[in-house]
Amino acid sequence: MEKYARVTSPNYTYLFNFESDFIHKKTLKWMEENWTSSFYYVGLYVFVIFGGRYWMQNRPKFELRTLLVAWNLMLATFSIMGACRTLPEFTHILTHHGLYHSICIPSFVEQDKVSGFWAWMFTLSKLPELGDTVFIVLRKQPLIFLHWYHHITVLLYSWLSYAETSASARWFMVMNYCVHSLMYSYYALKAMRYSPPKQLAMIITSLQITQMLVGCAISLWVRRLILRKTDCHITILNNSLALVMYFSYFVLFVKFFYYSYMSRNKTIKTNISAVNDVYALIKSKTM
């Protein structure tokens, strides 16, 4: 299992039984054999959301506020736990083994049971996260291309990356957990009818833009290493997909930030478009 030399792990204060019992070989084998089933889930997802939109056309919207609060609180708790359990390994590797190791050596799943378990949970979570769109459809809120494009690509990419044990996933996973911790907490407050300050929304968007920019930078650096034949445990296909995804997300979030917080001379049409984009962008799950 461990192609690379064993590295030191952070000194965890406590290990849960489900973490200490985690066996990467088993989950890797399952994902290698089943990751392509994600295409079937995507097909079902597209059928449900667009069929649901058609079904809801002449029906009153569902409020679902209590369920929405519970949903966001659940995802916020999950993200906070994921961030707390993966950040120690991430910072430990950066501090003791350097940037190259953090991007190119997949010890976070092959050698660290805690980080490995939460990498597995992160990958699987992209399937139930499709449920976000169900709330949009049933509450008759705007469903634009960006929202379902994002969910589809993140699910497919995450499952492929786990099957390939892509090393750069360490960065993508930790960034996602951290941003989602704040983002879902914000959604939960909004669902409970609290009114967080506008500055908090701006901070979340800025973090999302930063996440996409870092993703692009990592992908470009990895591509350079691959072209130079430097050992880096990432396939050229995986790296190309990551670069396309992160760049497209970066452009969309920059546009969102501009129209939401900076632009002052917008036409009525632009205002309507921006509102739709804002909702879909902020409800999208970034990788």
| 228 within a domain of the structure (yes/no) | yes
| 4 within a domain of the structure (yes/no) | no
How many helices (H) and strands (E) in the chain? 12, 0
Q: pLDDT value at position 6? A: 79
Quick: pLDDT tens for 221-277.
999 999 999 999 999 999 999 999 999 999 988 887 887 788 765 433 444 344 444
Average of per-residue pLDDT across 35-59: 94
- Domain span including residue 91: 17-283
Is 150 known to be catalytic?
A: yes
Total number of domains constituting the chain:
1
Q: pLDDT value at position 149? A: 87
| 79 within a domain of the structure (yes/no) | yes
Mean of the per-residue pLDDT values for the chain? 89
| 41, burial (CB in 10 Å: exposed 0-12, middle 13-18, buried 19+) | middle
| 11 within a domain of the structure (yes/no) | no
Closest CA to 48 of 132, 122, 159, 123: 132
Please identify which of the residues 150, 151, 180, 233 carries the catalytic annotation.
150
Rounded Cα gap, residues 50 and 47, in angstroms: 6
Cβ atoms within 10 Å of 36's Cβ, excluding its own: 12
Q: 3-state SS string over 94-126? A: HHHHHHHHHHHCCHHHHCCHHHHHHHHHHHHHC
Rounded Cα gap, residues 160 and 26, in angstroms: 16
Kindly report the pTM of this predicted structure. 0.88
| 6 within a domain of the structure (yes/no) | no
